[in-house]
């Protein structure tokens, strides 16, 4: 069983589900980590491209994180609430 939690929400993937996933991927935990890190990398690069004059492809991960920390951003959930969504 795999449990992923952020303190507010929890995702549980049972052993049978893991076995099914491992038919397609060699190491399911590695796949999960890579999927999450790739999503973060793509969003980080987009944020830098859209909000600065920097080239994210020439920056270190630490430089990217520092730039993003200094941006005034709102989450997708906050945007939805502002626009009258869920």
What's residue 86's pLDDT? Answer: 60
Phi, psi for residue 59 in degrees, rounded to 5:
-105, 150
pLDDT string in tens for the chain (86-residue length): 999 999 899 999 999 999 999 999 999 999 999 999 999 999 999 999 999 999 999 999 999 999 999 999 999 989 898 888 66
41 SS3 class: helix
Note the pTM of the prediction, 2 decimals.
0.76
Q: Residue 72's pLDDT is what?
A: 93
The size of the chain, in residues, is: 86
CB 65 within 8 A of CB 41: no
The greatest distance separating any two alpha carbons of the chain, rounded to the nearest whole angstrom, comes to 47
| Predicted pLDDT of residue 85 | 66
Strand pairing category for 10-13 and 2-5: antiparallel
């Amino acid at each position: 069983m795999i449990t992923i939690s952020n303190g507010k929400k929890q995702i549980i993937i049972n052993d049978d589900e893991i076995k099914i996933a491992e038919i397609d991927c060699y190491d399911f935990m590695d796949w999960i980590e890579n999927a999450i890190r790739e999503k973060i990398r793509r969003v980080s690069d987009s944020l830098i491209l859209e909000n600065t004059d920097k080239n994210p492809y020439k920056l270190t991960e630490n430089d990217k994180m520092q730039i993003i920390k200094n941006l005034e951003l709102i989450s997708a959930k906050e945007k939805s609430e502002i626009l009258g969504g869920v």
